[in-house]
Amino acid sequence: MTPLVQSARFREVGPPVLTGLVLLGLWEGTCRLFGIPEFLLPAPSAVARVFATDAPTLLRALLSTLEVTVMAFGLAAVVGTLVAFVFVQSRAVERSLFPYAVMLQVTPVVAIAPLIIILVKDTRLALVACAALVALFPVISNTTLGLRTVDPGLANLFALHKAGPLQTLVRLRIPSALPLFFAGLRISSGLALIGAVVAEFVAGTGGTGSGLAYEILQSGFQLDIPRMFAALFLITAAGVALFLIMAGLTRLALGDWHESERRPER
């Protein structure tokens, strides 16, 4: 690895890491200096200590939440893409159905999750359905916009050569839509995690298959605030990891040909 690459990576990763370390140091110092009780605001060292002792339980809960998140995200990606393909074929269909997609987006999942949990007997499937509803709209909106946002000159060229609707879709609209499609996936991945956690809060499921939301609830009931912060940290870390994975996939898919992912040469 050349020094230039190392320097570029440090400029990209170094500032947020250093900022995080400074904030953690200020947090730790404030808690120790003012003697803040752990049940009000635990110091990072207390959170790390609890995580070290309860790591197996917390990681098992994280895997349960991530399982719901990944299934919901995959479902939202597939359904949202198919709906966008339907919308782009007919303006009349889009005008008729798009308002209902907006309604799904603005309706709080907390309000509809109890109904879904009652209607769907399998709790895991109900959690996936709730999280997928939260993550669906960004995929529909961004993919539809991307499929409609094509270069007019290229569209005229395809029409001049009498390209059919399928050829135009595959060779023009889909490549043009990829940047917005991946942007929608980056947003949707985080929303799927949020939807999964909120649905777990509403369902209140416990036992060996419980997720991080259940661990947070239990820690709150027991006033075990350091353990609650440890679970919150895992949720945050999972959200950041999902975003970075999607950003990496975006760069992998678009980095060689699309200007949005090309890094300026220095």
Q: Are 56 and 160 in contact (CB under 8 A)?
A: no
- Give, for all 266 residues of the chain, the pLDDT tens digit: 555 445 666 677 778 888 888 999 999 899 988 888 888 889 999 999 988 888 898 999 999 999 999 999 999 999 999 999 898 888 888 888 888 888 888 888 888 888 888 888 888 899 999 999 999 999 999 999 988 888 778 777 787 777 777 787 778 888 888 899 999 999 999 999 999 999 888 887 655 457 898 889 888 888 889 999 999 999 999 999 999 999 899 888 887 666 665 555 54
List the domain boundaries for the chain. 67-253
Nearest Cα to 76, choosing from 139, 24, 166? 139
- pTM for this one? 0.86
Which stretches of the chain are DSSP H helices? 3-34, 44-89, 91-106, 109-119, 123-148, 152-160, 165-168, 174-203, 212-221, 225-254
Question: 67-253 in CATH: which number?
Answer: 1.10.3720.10
